[in-house]
Amino acid sequence: MNHRTLGRTGIQVSPLCLGTMMFGAWGNTDYDECERIVGTALDAGVNFIDTADVYAFGESETILGKAIRGRRDEIVLATKFHNPMGDSPNRRGNSRRWIMQAVEDSLRRLDTDWIDLYQVHRPDPHTDIDETLGALSDLVHQGKVRAIGTSSFPAEEIVEAQWVSERRRRERFSTEQPSYSILARHAEAAVLPVAERYNLGVLVWSPLNGGWLTGKYRRDAPLPADSRAARNGDHFDFRAEEIRARKLDVVEKLAELAAEAGISMIHLALGFVLSHRAVTSAVIGPRTLEQLTGQLGADEVRLSPDLLDAIDALVPPGTNIGPGDVGYVPPALADPALRRR
């Protein structure tokens, strides 16, 4: 597997990044199979693994820590903080108080002395970005963290953080992790161009759009019994009739394009995001070993200009079919009081 440089860090990572959100109670509770997934990915050349403290509330990190035992040095290990990890209002967010506790918790669960990439899972409007960057800079200086990054940050907040780092002499964010797929192309409008301008490494989450781009959700076909959509229809648009209908229409046409190109729907979807000049790696999040094997090899797919043009015609650049696929709603859009005098 060819490797790519992660932004300006000099760290070499595989174009496919193994995401572990499905390890544990949120997906696969078979620890042995989770370990086999990790081992198979590593043996296939994947050296980049992404998790988060909130995934199954620490269980994912614990499983991963056991799975990488004895192979830690060959892995670029990424995790995240921000989301609530308990009832206390101070066990969440981007404050120095929480960051210093959260990193120790993650290090313990992952059974490691350092984290290669420590990411802010979402913006925190209640915390000054300088406060966050100051705490993260200290972790880099202490050797507990090698590089720092963000996830689902709007373009303007990425720019602000870069400015604060320079002005206040903080460590700079080196990566951004936005949602990005054929069905959710919002990042193309500003986030990806800004990331490219600042030479940020980009690892994109949900490149299969929550399973929509695997081909298992089709018009007039029942939901697979073991699918996430069957377990959580609201989250996967199955109760939002207009969004569901539009996605089903696009999926049918994408299936035709994939068949004409002689590739699977999964490889079409992953090949699409990896073809963007700003994208470093695509985060794949298999729940089973079978799902992993269906995604491996996608980094070798090269989509032709004609095929990319055909995808653009189905879903115009910079647009989303489902508004919820962005992953972060700014406070001013969520709270009417912030838009009124």
The model's pTM is: 0.95
Q: What single letter denotes the amino acid at residue 174? A: S
The pLDDT assigned to 96 comes to 98
User: Mean per-residue pLDDT for 150-172?
Assistant: 98
Q: Is 150:119 a contact under the CB 8 Å cutoff? A: yes
Say what percent of the chain tops pLDDT 90. 90
Which residues have CB under 8 Å from 225's CB, separation 6+? none
The token pair that represents 144 in the structure block: 């507990």
> Inter-axis angle of helices 31-43 and 59-67, to 10 degrees?
50
pLDDT at 227 over 90: no
Q: Is 38:61 a contact under the CB 8 Å cutoff? A: no
Residue holding tokens 């209640």?
A: 126
User: Mean per-residue pLDDT for 32-60?
Assistant: 98
C-alpha Rg value of the chain to the nearest Å: 19
Q: How does residue 54 score in pLDDT terms, banded at 50, 70 and 90? A: very high
Say what percent of the chain tops pLDDT 70. 100
Catalytically annotated residues: 55
Q: How does residue 258 score in pLDDT terms, banded at 50, 70 and 90? A: very high
User: Mean per-residue pLDDT for 259-269?
Assistant: 97
The pLDDT assigned to 223 comes to 81
- Secondary structure of residue 75 in the 3-state scheme: coil
| Class for the domain spanning 4-339 | alpha beta
The span from the CA of 206 to the CA of 179, in Å, is 6
pLDDT at 206 over 90: yes
User: 221 versus 140: which is more confidently predicted?
Assistant: 140
Going from the C-alpha of 159 to that of each of 72, 82, 192, the distances in angstroms are: 33, 20, 12
